[in-house]
Amino acid sequence: SQQGEEDPQALSIQEGENATMNCSYKTSINNLQWYRQNSGRGLVHLILIRSNEREKHSGRLRVTLDTSKKSSSLLITASRAADTASYFCATDWNTGNQFYFGTGTSLTVIP
Amino acid sequence: NAGVTQTPKFRVLKTGQSMTLLCAQDMNHEYMYWYRQDPGMGLRLIHYSVGEGTTAKGEVPDGYNVSRLKKQNFLLGLESAAPSQTSVYFCASRTGQTRNQPQHFGDGTRLSIL
């Protein structure tokens, strides 16, 4: 399987704390994307980082990418109860037509 | 705009029955995808399409067929359902104009095979 691995599988934090989740992947990529999935819903795109970028910010989100280690991290700062969801990384590969998703991190933010 | 719409939202089948899942997008996207999501497995790509009239196999294509007769629709068929195909199925689409574009997902079809 080309799937990536996410770490941790589950994370529980207090509201206002920061949440960090990590993604490792197996193949060379053109870009890496992070998605959020609320319970019972489809995935929603959060941020995309290209293979020639090392860090990217969007609001309370900060993503880093280390292509030498084939890994990425997603930091959510000042977490809110509404951030409770599962978070997935996705990488494209080869021609860029196919995407592989990690196994996800389940984040619970306690009010 | 509705985005990506999946029909039906829930379905229960008996082993050996057939059915078709419909995905419709109103964003004029070239690329469309079908994934299945199982507990602890993340999303796995079943089939995808890079344009009207084209389809290609993904990571787990066995037991499924697809068709893309119209640009806005992507159909996923199960010819003879098996319990192993019990899963949540997601459709996604994205523009093909540039490579680094996100996918837009539907809310899924929850399928149980008894």
Q: Bridge-partner residues for A10, per DSSP?
A: A106
B100 neighbourhood in chain A, CB within 8 Å? 30-31, 48, 50
Strand partners, B74: B23
B19-60 pLDDT, tens per residue? 999 999 999 999 999 999 998 778 999 999 999 999 999 999
| Stretch 60-89 of chain B: residues touching chain A, C-beta under 8 Å | none
DSSP class per residue in A32-62: EEEEEE-TTS-EEEEEEEETT-SEEEETTEE
Which of B9, B38, B103 should we substitute to test contact with A (largest number of A Cβ atoms within 10 Å)? B103
Measured distance CA(A98)–CA(B25) in Å, rounded: 19
Q: Which of B87, B86, B96, B12 is nearest to B43 (CA)?
A: B87
CB contact under 8 Å between A97 and B4, yes or no, is no
B1 to chain A, any CB pair closer than 8 A? The answer is no
* CA B93 to each of CA B19, B35, B43, B106: distance values in angstroms, whole numbers, following the listed order: 22, 11, 15, 9
Instruction: Between A5 and B60, name the one with better pLDDT.
Output: B60
Chain B residues with CB under 8 Å of A58 CB are none
Percent of chain A with pLDDT over 70: 95
State the pLDDT confidence band at A3, using cuts at 50, 70 and 90: low
Please write the tens of the pLDDT for every residue from A58-105: 999 999 999 999 999 999 999 999 999 999 999 987 666 788 898 899
